[in-house]
Structure 1
Amino acid sequence: MDVSHDGKSTDKERPRARGHRTTHGEALLDRAFRMLTCFGPDTPVLSLSSLATRADLPKATALRLVRQLVDQAALERTPSGHYTIGLRLLEIASLAPRGHGLRALALPYMQDLWHATRQHVQLVVREGLQCVLVERLSARDSTRIPYRVGGRMPLHFTAPGLVLLAFAPTEVQEEFHAIEWPDDEEGLTNTGDALRARLAAIRRDRFAVLSRPLWGVPTSGVATPILDRNSTTIAALSVVTPSEQIQPAAHVPAMVVAARAITRVVATELTWETLQ
């Protein structure tokens, strides 16, 4: 039973605005995760009212959830009375083998690649029909890119995403192709038969090259797969450069050498099924 804003008890919560569904009977865990995902790069600190609005929950329900999340250190309360993500989530996330575990093994080789290229060097894994940036090394004067560590990236409009899609299981590829994806923010199209042909070429060459403007700046990315001991692609290593300064393919040999080195150490150190 929930408490309404006027202090009276009510058996049902207010309907959700999206889809006119109610939150009655919705799992507590679902609500809690919905609140946690309200935070982002542009909204690292939120008030209770903002959390309730963004999570589409009654304020009383949001308050109960926030208190529980603060008790578990998943959220922290700021001196101003607002809320931010707690360190407990970082502690838990650091145990993810596809995240920090893979990052720890790959980082020395990523650093070598960064010293050789002085460009963005990225480690990316697939999560469903998107990919997640696990780590990035960047020079101070590197061209700006819109993806942050821990953030999601599109599969078909990034070089590492294309690699991960090209080497994904057949059922994942077919699920991806069955969706009518919109063009990217620059109006570029990379779907249908053209995408299938591109993925076939990536499987043949074992690397991807993709040039596209980011925030109006001509940018190119190259990427290649990282494998586990079963020769299953578990991640992609990539280099991102400004297109007008250097031919992106010039970085492919060094990138491939680094990816093979990471593959060797991954085959030895990481054997969990979660990497497959």
Structure 2
Amino acid sequence: MNKTVLKSMEIIRLFFDEESLTLLQIMNKTDLPKTSAYRMAESLLELGFLEKDKNGAYRLGLIFLVLGNLVAERLDIRSITLPYMQRLRKETGEAVNLVIRDGEEAVYIEKVDTQESVRVFTQIGRRAPLYGGACPRVLLSFIEPEEQEQLLQSFDIVPYANGTPKDKDDVRRLIEETRKKGWSISHSELENYSSAIAAPIFNHKGDVVAGISLVGPEVRFRDEVHVQEMITKLTEAAKHISAAIGADKSES
């Protein structure tokens, strides 16, 4: 393992028990030479992992508050969402997936498989580009326009399947449609002959934090009446999950 990373982590761990530490105290507790201790502490300071108080002592930076909230929020989403996912599977017969954003990708963090013999299999931990597939796309569609455009500029559009968006203008069109409707649908975007309908989940601040989708073979997602029924059930579930997350956060 990288020694610099290990020593940096050793410094951070000191603050699990101490609110603030001077450079001398860090040196004494880690047995690091003054130059090394200073260089690591200042690097952690620059990255936001540490900050200095008015006396020049180091303490944990606010980035840990942000990271802690993100971890708690994502864990909360899984436990809160699972009952809704199970109900959706029962009501629609289709598989249900839950995704969150990780940088330029969507990550599947929970699923409830269909009991149908013909199905689309999704593995927890799977990653997908934000521009492809209904569920990843809702994560992209409801972030701030400036960040959205930065992501679009960074994308290298790869044709995963027959229906993958062809270029960035195609993605922009789909984003606009998704924002207007409040949900997204895809056919053969990540895998041929598979379809998905997805809706966004928002936190108490109105930020999109996850996407929930119904997934199955494309042949079962072509009947307009059936699709509309699934959209209604899915968007209602997404609203209830968002409200649950918002209520939990406002009380904490």
Distance 1:213 1:264 in 2: 30
State the Cα deviation string for residues 112-137 of structure 1 (Å, max 9, x = none): 11111121101111111111112100
**Residue of structure 1 in register with 2:199 after alignment:** 224
RMSD of Structure 2 on Structure 1 (CA): 2.9
Counterpart pick for 2:237 among 258, 263, 268: 258
SS at match of 1:27: helix
1:27 maps to amino acid: V
Show structure 2 runs of 5+ residues with no match.
9-67
Counterpart pick for 1:184 among 132, 144, 159: 159
SS at match of 2:205: coil
**Residue of structure 2 in register with 1:121 after alignment:** 96
Distance 2:96 2:245 in 1: 18
**Residue of structure 2 in register with 1:207 after alignment:** 183
SS at match of 2:220: coil
Report the CA distance between 1:97 and its aligned residue. 2.1
**Higher helix residue share:** 2
State the Cα deviation string for residues 223-259 of structure 1 (Å, max 9, x = none): 0111112222111111012111343444101101111
Deviating more after overlay: 163-172 vs 96-105: 96-105
Distance 2:88 2:246 in 1: 20
* Residues 57-96 of structure 1 mapped to structure 2, 5 A cutoff: 96=71
**Residue of structure 2 in register with 1:27 after alignment:** 5
Report the CA distance between 1:98 and its aligned residue. 3.7
Show structure 1 runs of 5+ residues with no match.
3-22, 31-92
Runs of at least 4 residues of structure 1 off by over 3 A?
A: 25-30, 187-190, 213-216, 270-273
1:99 equivalent in alignment to 2:64: no
TM-score by length of 1: 0.60
TM-score by length of 2: 0.65
1:198 equivalent in alignment to 2:177: no
- How many residue pairs match? The answer is 186
Report if the CA contact (8 A) 2:165-2:189 is conserved.
no
Residue 186 to residue 121, structure 1, CA distance change in 2 (3 Å)? same
**Percent of aligned pairs sharing the same letter:** 24
2:170 maps to amino acid: A
Residue 201 to residue 129, structure 1, CA distance change in 2 (3 Å)? same
State the Cα deviation string for residues 3-41 of structure 1 (Å, max 9, x = none): xxxxxxxxxxxxxxxxxxxx8x863489xxxxxxxxxxx
**Residue of structure 1 in register with 2:218 after alignment:** 243
Distance 1:250 1:183 in 2: 32
